[in-house]
Amino acid sequence: MSCYVTLRGSHCEHPADSVPVGPPVSEEPVQITVVLRRKETVCDEWCVAHLSREQFAKTQGADPADIEAVKSFAANYKFDIAGVDAAARLVTISGPLGEMARAFGADVEMRQLGKQILRTRQGALHAPSTLAERIIAVLGFDQRPVAATNHKFQSRAKDTKYFTPPELAKIYNFPGNTGKNQTIAIIELGGGYNPSDLETYWNQLGLNPVSVTSASVGGAQNRPEGDPNSADGEVALDIEVAGGLAPEAHIAVYFAPNTDQGFLAAINAAIYDRIHKPSVISISWGAAESEWTPQAMNAFNAAFHDAALLGISVCAAAGDNGSSDGEQDGHNHVDFPASSPWVLACGGTRLVARNGNRQSETVWNDGTNGGATGGGVSAHFSKPKYQSAVHVPKPAGTVNGTGRGVPDVAAVADPETGYAVIVDGQEGVVGGTSAVAPLWAAFIALCNEQLGKNLGWLHPKLYGTVTHHQAFHDITSGNNGTYRAGSGWDPCTGLGTPNGQSILQQLKNTQSK
């Protein structure tokens, strides 16, 4: 039998603000997700061509030998194989927690975190050396919440300033089509929506009812909590912004548990959904890179690469806590999954407009208590080729290289100039970069409809032809803490906010060449 080795990037600590409450129940049945390496590379790291699902499964799925190695490992411990998804390179193993922990060398405890009692782990995971080289990640031992959304809800009053989606479509010069035959996937890790709220909202905007369905992943459901300041506010915001801007698109909402295992399962459910076939995915949940294990980020990043290969765009909020991303260690941090180089990272601005026209737009920064757009430099992902022509600052402590710069793009996020929503029967205004991800997702859906094909991974085009033709509103004033806005790309608002028709025209020009 092979000697055991540490699974690279699997080390973690129990949550710092948790306390032990005892050992877990050894006989508790659990399902562990094993994420395997890709069968083949794709010409080079940044070469990407849209593949059919059949082509993808054949060339980019798991090597059958790797799947058999996991099955053999499971059989040695008398574990069951609960599922195999060769295309997504996932094998799910089920068995008693105690035996599973021993098999992977997992140090697991029950801990109290706030009002919740959860299973978490510390230290590294282990596997036989012949298996470890095939594995990207092992997920499922840890139940801690991995992501948060920091939307800020305030009730609508007579003097409250806000924008509706149609108003923003005019201000940002979006094309006038409706997203017909497109599906926008939305990932949610809690809360729910009330169909009656959506019906009222569409009616207020003068729209026909937008098609919205929900999907359950890992047992999570569309389950409203009845509080607009809960995750309900995020769910309603995402649906209402996306649907309000692309009213004939179908909105598919994937509810999953807020764990690294659940989050990844929701993303994969959207990517590989053969029924709804999303062309774009919107994610408004995230956390500082330092809160994730490297193995989890690598597993998610591989899934986002899958989306790119399948012609699916992924948008994610850049965070609402400035250049620190809410960490208290005095260092700069960026939010993940926005920091993935395969994801369109969406930052935030403060927008002043009148009669559908932009008057001014600056970096969103309301101070420590009010929130600010996330942005900065990844400590995990290296600087991608598409950012070679822009200046990305060097992360602290490095001598030569630099990291992936965040965000890529922006739109209004300041709660003081926020988005009109209806949540749990209450009319309100919500801000945060959580609103920017569905806004950009809707814009991409509109472009897809106009172009007659999916844009998919559009970073090279945005940083290339589109930027060179000044199709963005360049935000040059303000800061998010450490970083200041300036001409061109910056770590506050990226390339800027959209001039939708201009971006679309440049994409059309690129397509015709």
**Does residue 238 carry a catalytic annotation?**
yes
Q: Which of 188, 197, 234, 325 is catalytic?
A: 234
Whether the Cβ atoms of residue 198 and residue 212 lie closer than 8 Å to each other: yes
CA-nearest of 280, 54, 283, 254 to 181 is 280
Which of 284, 323, 339, 434 is labelled catalytic? 434
Q: Which 8-state DSSP code applies to residue 397?
A: T
Q: Which two tokens stand for residue 479?
A: 């800061």
DSSP tag of 289: G
Give the helix/strand (H/E) hosting 201: helix 195-205
Calpha distance 388→418 (Å, rounded): 33
Residues pairing with 150 in the sheet: none
In the chain, helix, strand, coil percent, each to 5?
A: 30, 30, 40
CB 348 within 8 A of CB 434: no
248 annotated active-site: no
Is 263:256 a contact under the CB 8 Å cutoff? Answer: yes
Query: Residue 171 is encoded by which pair of tokens?
Result: 């201000």
CA-nearest of 362, 352, 370 to 410 is 362
Both structure tokens of 105: 């060398």
Query: Helix or strand or coil: residue 404?
Result: strand
Which one from 142, 188, 197, 238 is the annotated catalytic residue? 238
Is residue 128 within 8 Å of 274, Cβ to Cβ?
no
| Residue partners of 57: CB distance under 8 A and separation at least 6 | 86, 87
Q: What is the C-alpha to C-alpha distance for residues 211 and 230, in angstroms, rounded to an integer?
A: 24
Known catalytic residue at 361: no
Q: List the catalytic residues.
A: 234, 238, 434
